[in-house]
Structures are given as structure tokens and as C-alpha cells.
Amino acid sequence: MIQPQIVLLKEGTDTSQGKGQLISNINACAAVVEILKTTLGPRGMDKLIHVNNKVTISNDGATIIQLLDIVHPAAKTLADISKSQDDEVGDGTTTVVLLAGAFLNAAKSFIEDGVNPQVIIRGYRKACQVALKNLRELAVPLEQKQDMDSNRRVMLERCAQTALNSKLIENQKEFFGKMVVDAVLHLDRDELDIDLIGIKNVAGGSVTDSFLVEGVSFKKTFSYAGFEQQPKKFLNPIIVLLNVELELKSERSNAEIRISDPSKYQAIVDAEWKIIYDKLNLIVDSGAQIILSKLPIGDLATQFFADRDLFCAGRVPEVDLERVAAATGGQIQTSLRDLNEEVCGKCSLFEEIQIGKERYNMFSGCPEAKTVTLILRGGAEQFIAETERSVHDSIMIVKRCLQHNAIVAGGGAIEMELSRILKEYARDVTDKTALIISAYAQAFETIPRQLAQNAGFDSTDILNELRAKHAKGGKWYGVDIENEGTCDTFQKFVWEPAVVKSNSIAAATEAACIILSVDETIRNPKSEGLPDQGTPPMAR
């Protein structure tokens, strides 16, 4: 008897499942790793990504992977963990992708031999727990003191410089390392809100012309006639921050006005002028010398303030206005009826200066000092943009150092030590996961191997030497980029926050487990953005 055919899915739906699907997903992730792996480390290469008319040059893993426009559903998981690593700790975005790819590649042979994916996942999760436990034990706590002494500051600067080792501004890492630590230490110690660190890019000049403003600086806003007559420098000014529009508005645009006597029209016009003048007089009576507003300040108000030797700026970006409030102790007002000393801000110096071809308003000597601004210079837009990304990573690293107070050695040292520990642990495991844990441990060697390859060294010799050093108790030995060999990277001050490593290991393991748990992919024929049938796993 012939069984009737049951049509469950719409015609044109593409389904693939089983071992072949798992291998296909692993290969798609390997294609992403292949793109990113040459960017790892101090000798990593940059990628030039051309999207429409925008050109980006970067070796930041999160930036590259977001610009790749990956459409393969499994490979997008790597893009997600790279972004999460960037959001959470700010650095290690390439490392997390390479680790995930190594874990998947290690699992590939087991899948081909018919091992159930759940057995691999169970082994990986057990190994991850052991690795994170040992990482916490290996981490070296930073010295805890009430005041930020010189030794602690040196540690923070070295962590900041390590984050810049693999960046475009590596040769200026000492210059920027000091600047980054200064910036983070100006923040509130409890919150460490990095949104209060403003970064402004100004084309022109050398990268070493960059500087730190202990306060707020923002680009001169759009201004009306009369602005040129306003003073551009104040000592100890009183600052009013507003969310109020100071423009002469025609009231007929807000309401319908009917008059029976044409002579009364002048009274309506006079009322409109009285409204704006009342607002301006309230501001002047408050004693304010600098008026900043998120909303427009029109030509009438600009000239009004200029005649009284006051400075004003309208259409100030909200983020900059909030940073001025945090620095000066002022409060943003939506009404002008209660302007007093308590809601006004103060600083020791305000001035408008020329930086490159732009004019910038600067507030320095602020009493609260909870915010700073980094002015980044450079010859090309792409170079400045990459400098900004590099400085952001370094800022995040210093922030995590202050929050978690534990560091480990970089240069592949911690990965080699965890690999050794896990291999020893696997010898005591009696079930079939022993081989899987051993393969997981082997995958950690991807990081030092790639560091050596990117520097042009013989990675086999370097790995053999590192294995010998770690077997003899040299737990902090990693790749010596400068002298083509191995060295104690802790003594060389190549330091990284332990939280960066723990987050990357946990995220990479979880991503590998998610991909290994998928045994079927169903593509709806109407789905947008997916490659057509027959298109290679990595598309567009």
C-alpha cells in the first residue's frame, strides 16, 4: 500500500539537517575566523572595508565583523558574541571569535566520527567551568588603597598600553595610556560612567597633538548674526543650562486669532515681542554670563545677549549639555521662572578657541570634575576614527581594572596555562568527555599560535617552547613579539584585566555550544536577506 505524501512546508522551502548541517555551520564560522585571525595581536594586519562611499580601516574585531554584513544564520552568532564582548568589556573582540572558531573546529572531528553533539556540549561546559575557576585563582589582584597611589596608577597605565599594543596608535601607546588613565580617574569612582568621557575628532595636525580637557568641550554650534560681538572668554562665569526655545515666535502659528478691529493687530504683535523679552530679561536678571540651550536661540536673543556682553549657544547636543551639567554642577531648566544660584553651573574658565579649522567651546576648571573631553587629532578621517576606536577599547580596559581589580598576563600566556591545566584535568576524567575536554584545551593554543604567525615567527617552535616553559611552572610565559621567542609577559608588563579573558572564554564556549546544538535549518522562500540556494555559506 502506497503511503500518501504529506506536504508540511510551503513549496520552495529549503531544509537541511543532520551531520551535514552541523559541518556546514562550522565551516561558515570558520570562514569568519579566517577573515579576522590576521588582525590579532601587536603585529596584526588591518582590514579595509568599503561600504557604499564609506571606507573603514580597522583591526578591531567588533568593527570589522559588524561591517561584513554576514547573512549566514550560524555565522551571525559570532558577530553577536563579538558585539557583546565589545559592549561588556570593550576589548578582546577578535579573541572571542577566534576561540569560538577553535572550539568548533575541535568539535568537527568528533561530529564526523558520529559523536552525539550533546556529549560534546556537555564536555565543553564542564571544561569551561574548570577554566573559569582556575582563571580566578591565577588572576593577580591589584593593590587596594583608599587613595590612587603611584604604583596603582602605573598598573592602570600598563593595562591601558597593553590594549593599545595591537592598534594603529601602538607607537604612541605611552602618550595615550596616560591620557586614558587621567580621563577615567576623573569620573565618579562609584559609577565610572564612560558616557561622561567625550571624544571629539578634529582633522589636521599630528596624532600627538591630541589632548585632554578636564571639563567639557564641544564644537561651536550654529549661531545667528550678533554672535561675533559676544565675548569669547570668561573667568569664573555663571552658567545657565536650558531646554527652552529663545526665538521670536508668531503666536498665530500656535493658535487661531480673530480680530474685529484692525487697530488691535498691533497689540498682538506687541504681545509676541513682550513674551520673548520677558524670557530674556529673566535670564539676564539671574546673573548668568553663559547661556546654553538644547533648543534654538534666535537672532533677536543672540543680539540681546551680545549687547550685554553675555555668551549664548543654542542647539547644543543633548549629550554635551548633560556633560556640562555634570561638570559644572548646573541643572538643565525647562522654565525660566526660578533661575537661582543653586541651579546654575560654575567653572573657572570658559573660552572659545580654534582647533584645526573648527571653533570649540571649552569649560575647564569645573568644580565637580566628573567629566572630561578627549580632543583627537590626525591627518585623515579614517585614521582619527580608528584612533577613537582604539582609545575607547583602552578606556574600557581601565574601567574594568578599577571595577574588578584583577589582572592576568597577556601574549597568550594565560591561554597556554589554562590549556595545560585542562589537559591535566582531562587525564582524571573517566568517561568519554575526557577526549572532548582535551580537544577543548588544545583549542586554547590557537591564540598564542596566531600571535606568533601574525608576527612572522615559526609558530610550531614558539608553541613547543611555551609548552615546555609552562610544564616547568612558568605560568606567565607568552609570545615575545619584540625578540621572536618567549618571555615572562607579566614581567614585561603585558597585562590584561582578568574579566576580559573570563568573558571571552564564557562567550566563546556558549556560542560554540549553541551552534553545535542546531541540527536543522529551515529557510522560508520569502525570507529576506538570506542567500539563494546554492550560494556559499558566507555570502555578501
Please tell me which residue in 56, 63, 77, 93 is annotated as part of the active site.
93
**325 and 315 housed in the same domain:** yes
Please tell me which residue in 39, 60, 371, 480 is annotated as part of the active site.
60
The enclosing domain of 348 has a CATH number of 3.50.7.10
What are phi and psi for residue 484, nearest 5 degrees?
A: 50, 75
**356 and 441 housed in the same domain:** no
In a domain, 537, yes or no: no
Looking up cell 572595508 gives: 49
**260 and 362 housed in the same domain:** yes
From the first residue on, what is the mean pLDDT of each consecutive set of 10 residues in the chain (540 residues)? 50 57 87 89 84 81 82 85 84 89 92 89 93 91 53 82 82 89 84 85 86 89 85 91 80 63 72 83 89 90 91 91 89 86 88 89 83 87 86 87 83 92 91 90 93 89 92 90 87 86 92 87 58 43
In a domain, 5, yes or no: no
CA torsion 48-49-55-56 (nearest 10°) is -70
Which of 378, 388, 373, 387 has its CA nearest to residue 211? 373
In a domain, 531, yes or no: no
**234 and 324 housed in the same domain:** yes
Please name the amino acid found at residue 141: P
Looking up cell 600566556 gives: 413
C-alpha to C-alpha distance for 28 and 20, rounded to whole angstroms: 12
CB 97 within 8 A of CB 65: yes
In a domain, 8, yes or no: no
DSSP string, 187-203: S-TTT--GGGEEEEEEE
- Asked about 39 being catalytic, the answer comes back as no
**334 and 378 housed in the same domain:** no
CB 120 within 8 A of CB 516: yes
Angle (CA) 443-445-446 rounded to 5° is 75
**127 and 200 housed in the same domain:** no
CB 110 within 8 A of CB 120: yes
In a domain, 495, yes or no: yes
Q: Cell numbers at residue 173, please? A: 601607546
- Domain final residue, candidates 314, 344, 368: 368
The enclosing domain of 59 has a CATH number of 1.10.560.10
- Asked about 338 being catalytic, the answer comes back as no
* Predicted local distance difference test score (pLDDT) of residue 147: 41
DSSP H helical ranges for 113-202:
117-138, 150-164, 173-185
In a domain, 533, yes or no: no
Q: In what order do the strands lie in the sheet with 495-497?
A: 140-141, 406-409, 495-497
CB 160 within 8 A of CB 476: no
Largest Cα–Cα separation, the chain: 102
**245 and 359 housed in the same domain:** yes
Coil, strand or helix: which one is 45? Answer: coil
Q: What is the 3-state secondary structure (H, E, C) of 478-529?
A: EEECCCCEEEECCCCCCEEEHHHHHHHHHHHHHHHHHHHCCCEEEECCCCCC
The enclosing domain of 191 has a CATH number of 3.30.260.10
How many structural domains does the chain have? 3
In a domain, 9, yes or no: no
* Predicted local distance difference test score (pLDDT) of residue 380: 80
Which of 63, 166, 71 has its CA nearest to residue 450? 166
Please tell me which residue in 39, 63, 94, 446 is annotated as part of the active site.
94
In a domain, 133, yes or no: yes
C-alpha to C-alpha distance for 538 and 432, rounded to whole angstroms: 33
Give the burial string for 248-257 (b: 16+ CB within 10 Å, else e).
eeeeeeeeee
- Asked about 162 being catalytic, the answer comes back as no
CB 537 within 8 A of CB 24: yes
- Length in residues, the chain: 540
DSSP 215: E
Q: How far apart are the first and last CA of the chain?
A: 48
Which of 254, 191, 201 has its CA nearest to residue 390? 201
Looking up cell 575607547 gives: 392
**439 and 472 housed in the same domain:** yes
Please tell me which residue in 91, 393, 446, 486 is annotated as part of the active site.
393
What are phi and psi for residue 375, nearest 5 degrees?
A: -100, 110
C-alpha to C-alpha distance for 484 and 458, rounded to whole angstroms: 9
- Asked about 393 being catalytic, the answer comes back as yes
* Predicted local distance difference test score (pLDDT) of residue 524: 64
Domain that holds residue 378: 143-214+374-404
**359 and 454 housed in the same domain:** no
**133 and 20 housed in the same domain:** yes
Show Cβ contacts of residue 106 under 8 Å, excluding neighbours closer than 6 positions.
439, 440, 442, 443
**241 and 339 housed in the same domain:** yes
**308 and 248 housed in the same domain:** yes
